[in-house]
Amino acid sequence: MTELDSQLAKDPQALCRAWEATSDELIVVRVVHGETALFEVLMRRNNQRLFRAARAIVKDDDEAEDVMQEAYVQAYAKLAQFEGRARFSTWLTRIAVHEALARVRKRRPAVDHEAETVQSELPSPEDLAANQEVVRVLEPMVDALPDAFRAVFVLRAVEGMSAVESAECLGIPEETVRTRFFRARQILQHQLEKQLTESLPAVYEFHLSRCDRVVAAVFARIG
């Protein structure tokens, strides 16, 4: 084991810090030209976004992690095909979204998501009394959104993607993204009011232990 390998084993984030000034797109070029270890930088940078995007669709933490792994393996195999017409993070998120949607389609027949209504137990006033409880209450509310609204909401509000990027990832018109996002916010604002915006950054939080596990699993698959 080299000194660098030893350092990375003690501090997995060291590699990311060493390349923090380099764009995803430039790192992609280096990976394609043989510096495969740098793929870890791309994964660690994009893990939280991919987890949130997948989790919004499959509604399960463990399955979202499986989606991430599959998306990374697919992206690695197609890395030479990345042409830079969109940001790398958008290209990668689109792969994860397609994988998540494919899994959802396999487990249930197609339905008219636009016609779905929210059917879930709303939290009691006591649930919202303390700020530390808001995230626990918010995640089930996001899960209860109609599928089409939930994916748009997580990409736009939680992950901070633009309407254009979200539309590209989901394969729908930009105007549809805007409409679904507006309707999703109406539903959630009615339930959470002020606490909603304050708690969004912690929704579908992606912890370091899961990050390390995904990185290790993907590298085990791509060799």
pTM, two decimal places: 0.70
CB-side exposure of 210: number of CA atoms within 13 Å?
18
Q: Could you tell me the domains of the chain?
A: 3-222 (1.20.140.160)
Interval 92-102: pLDDT, tens: 999 999 999 99
SS3 content of the chain, % helix, strand, coil (to 5): 75, 0, 25
Interval 54-73: pLDDT, tens: 999 999 999 999 999 999 99
